[in-house]
Amino acid sequence: MKKILAVALALVMMLAVCVPAFAFGEDISTNGGQSQTQLQTLTTDEEGNPVAGFTVSIPAAVEIPWGGTSTGDFLNWSYTSKLETGKQLSISVDKTSGNLTNGTDNLPYTLTGDAVGTAFLTGEEVTEGTVSKQIAIAVTGWGDVPVDAYSDTVTFTVDVVDIV
Amino acid sequence: MKKVLSVALALTMMLLVCVPAFAATITQDSDKSANVDVVTKTTDKDGNPAASFTVTIPGTVEIPWYGTTGGDYLNWSYTSQLEIGKQLQISLDKTGGALTNGTADSLAYTLSGDAVGTAFETGEEVTEGTVYKQIEVAVSGWDDAAVAAYSDTVTFTVAVVDL
């Protein structure tokens, strides 16, 4: 009898020591108590689409007057980004120089600026508005070729990479 | 009503044909590469046509009486940077004539060289610097005329023509 009472007492004491873990989302009884609700954002919008995004805007064409512009000729581009934590944009141009051609003659040109030669890393997940950039285009040999429309294509490539 | 609808439809179709040159954008949903065309214009920064040429001729050619031992020449020159497929065509209005002093006297002369008789065509859009030319002026009858200043006018005409 004493043993039974001792075991029962031990059980009761053990139960008293157990600290109840408040469960999430459980109804709170009419006698009081606590329950918890966790607030959590998704990385998708209400339609299930990924929210992280970016836009890099480049001109379809850059027209350079014959002889160039006194203050320089530029390819103006810009970007905005709202990326996931730890991510940034990597933007690069496929050449540092080339030849504008009309199929017969050439006008050499060089490019200088961010994204030329070395990929440009934005360094942040979220931009403060639109960030504007310029690439200078220097054309030479204007006096050596017939007057005509000479052209070349420059390709931009954008990747999302880790911020190191 | 039908006419109004027809006009509206025609305008809509015309606007659809017009293809505006939009900037390209690269986004998370698009191709990760896009192209920019770098193109020269045929006008300069002020909007003036860039193609040009210069033909330089003397205002006067003075010939000493009896002429010069090594010959007398009308020296002219030209430079050009024309649009592709173009060249200069230069011609004179005579192959010879008479130098006169306003009286019955005259001194006959002949011209020989490029642009005399047949138009001279430069054969290229762009010259390498200035190209120099000479037209020989051969005067005769020095002993038959009173000593005076005899003169005549030669006219150059320049045109841009196709190669």
Its ipTM equals 0.77
CB nearest B36 (choices: A52, A62, A104): A62
Q: Say if residue A97 is exposed, middle or buried (CB neighbours under 10 Å; 0-12, 13-18, 19+).
A: middle
Within-domain flag for A12: no
* Chain A interface includes B34 (CB < 8 A): yes
Which parts of chain B register pLDDT below 70? 1-22
The answer to whether B83 contacts A148, with C-beta atoms less than 8 Å apart, is yes
Nearest CA in chain A to B20: A60
Residue spans of alpha helices (H) in chain B:
2-17
The answer to whether A158 contacts B40, with C-beta atoms less than 8 Å apart, is no
Report in angstroms the alpha-carbon separations of B67 from A108, B108, B111, B113: 51, 13, 14, 18
Within-domain flag for A130: yes
Within-domain flag for A100: yes
* Chain A interface includes B20 (CB < 8 A): no
Question: Full-prediction pTM beyond 0.80?
Answer: no
Nearest Cα residue to A152 out of A66, A76, A94, A72:
A94
The answer to whether A144 contacts B27, with C-beta atoms less than 8 Å apart, is no
Nearest CA in chain A to B45: A65
List, as ranges, residues 131-150 from B with C-beta within 8 Å of A: none
Residue extents of the structural domains in chain B: 50-162
Domain region containing A65: 53-162
The answer to whether B42 contacts A66, with C-beta atoms less than 8 Å apart, is yes
Within-domain flag for A74: yes
Within-domain flag for A28: no
Which residues, 6 or more positions from A131, have their beta carbon under 8 angstroms from its beta carbon? A78, A79, A80, A122
DSSP B7: H
* pLDDT tens-digit map of A119-136: 999 999 999 999 999 999
Within-domain flag for A17: no
Structure tokens at A18: 């157990």
Query: Which CATH code fits B50-162?
Result: 2.60.40.1090
pLDDT at site B17: 41
* Chain A interface includes B98 (CB < 8 A): no
pLDDT at site A9: 64
Average pLDDT over residues A22-27: 63
CATH number of the domain where residue A122 is located: 2.60.40.1090
pLDDT tier at A12 (50, 70, 90 boundaries)? low
Which residues, 6 or more positions from B27, have their beta carbon under 8 angstroms from its beta carbon? A53, A54, A55, A56
**How many Å apart are CA B96 and CA A94, to the nearest integer?**
63
pLDDT tier at A30 (50, 70, 90 boundaries)? low
Nearest CA in chain A to B81: A146
Number of domains composing chain A:
1
Long-range contacts of A30-33 (CB under 8 A, 24+ apart): none
* pLDDT tens-digit map of A65-110: 999 999 999 999 999 999 999 999 999 999 999 999 999 999 999 9
The answer to whether A56 contacts B27, with C-beta atoms less than 8 Å apart, is yes
Structure tokens at B140: 């005769």
pLDDT at site B18: 41
